[in-house]
Structure 1
């Protein structure tokens, strides 16, 4: 019996009780949406796949603490995706910092990586927005994700985040303004230097 027949909340109740088949149904229902969101946050499809898997692992691992909004776990999954993506980015930054400290010639393939990076960075608009979004606090990322990207209402976002509706509205207003400023600063830097982000 699929989700369309019994509703997500009933399937979630079964999954929460440890039913792996019910959890698999939830995965099938939400994986594409979670993956698309992860891909907005990171550069590579491989990383987005890993982040998607980690978000669902957290859903299973923390199933007794998941906040359900409008009879769905999607808002919780999207917020968790933001958190996992941020952890991946931090880890990658630490790794890159280590590589940057190594003397040139100690590692191979630098030219290949530069070529891949140049190809990815050619899409300035997407890269600019991804970078600007990454500079927001996790609280601002969450409200942008839920209200702008996923187009949830303020009440749904408030329920998902466990904060008052007024806080969602004021945070959303500030987050949009900061995102626009960061994206504008990044575009200005690119046009000034003539290079990619």
Structure 2
């Protein structure tokens, strides 16, 4: 019976991680190449500014290298540890950006135009996801977008599986309500017009 892709990744991660812990940069580079896209997509959903995603990914992998003696594999994969670290890095960047914006708000207004990347609207679903509370965003990102099982997400978030399931259910309802707001007020207007 052949290995599943998760088993194959785990085997590669385990071997490369042991070599990286011994200081082998090439092994760490293979781990980076294997997981950077998933970490980037994960972070992209957590930070308000796209440019911060690159910084968050760089910081995440720098922390992985710096803390390579202490980072742990989950089911022989470094990805869960990377996602937890990326979540914390994204939260720190978001807090720092919020403090920076508060500082800028106290300064006199400038006449410069905003960066076009900040002004671009990337769609209602992405905006609705960003509007969710962090705990909802995390479970949606991990379970729905990244495709982790409830158990894997529970390990990443350091929560019981039941908590992940209930948060995921609540988060899906909240996200659906933001993307497709209820049409009840419109239905009442339609009835009123029909009755008149």
State TM-score, norm by structure 1. Answer: 0.73
Asked whether the 8 Å contact 1:12–1:23 carries over to 2, the reply is yes
Asked whether the 8 Å contact 2:16–2:31 carries over to 1, the reply is yes
* Structure 1 residues 100 and 167: CA distance shift in structure 2, 3 A: same
- The total of aligned residue pairs comes to 173
Structure 2 equivalent of residue 164 of structure 1:
160
Paired with 1:136 and 1:178, the residues of 2 have a C-alpha distance of: 12
Structure 1 equivalent of residue 134 of structure 2:
136
Structure 2 equivalent of residue 113 of structure 1:
114
Deviations 1:67-108 (A, max 9, x none): 32232111221222222112111111111111112223xx45
Deviations 1:167-193 (A, max 9, x none): 2222322333344455567xxxxxxxx
Q: CA deviation at 1:31?
A: 1.2
Paired with 1:182 and 1:174, the residues of 2 have a C-alpha distance of: 12
* Structure 1 residues 29 and 175: CA distance shift in structure 2, 3 A: same
Q: Do residues 7 (structure 1) and 12 (structure 2) align? A: yes
Asked whether the 8 Å contact 2:43–2:90 carries over to 1, the reply is yes
Paired with 2:172 and 2:36, the residues of 1 have a C-alpha distance of: 27
Asked whether the 8 Å contact 2:39–2:82 carries over to 1, the reply is yes
Paired with 2:129 and 2:166, the residues of 1 have a C-alpha distance of: 22
Asked whether the 8 Å contact 1:68–1:160 carries over to 2, the reply is no
* Structure 1 residues 99 and 12: CA distance shift in structure 2, 3 A: same
Q: Which runs of 5+ in 1 are unaligned?
A: 186-197
Q: CA deviation at 1:44?
A: 4.5
Paired with 1:84 and 1:175, the residues of 2 have a C-alpha distance of: 22
Q: Which runs of 5+ in 2 are unaligned?
A: 1-7, 182-196
Which of 59, 78, 82 is equivalent to 2:83? Answer: 78
Compare CA radii of gyration and give the structure with the larger one.
2
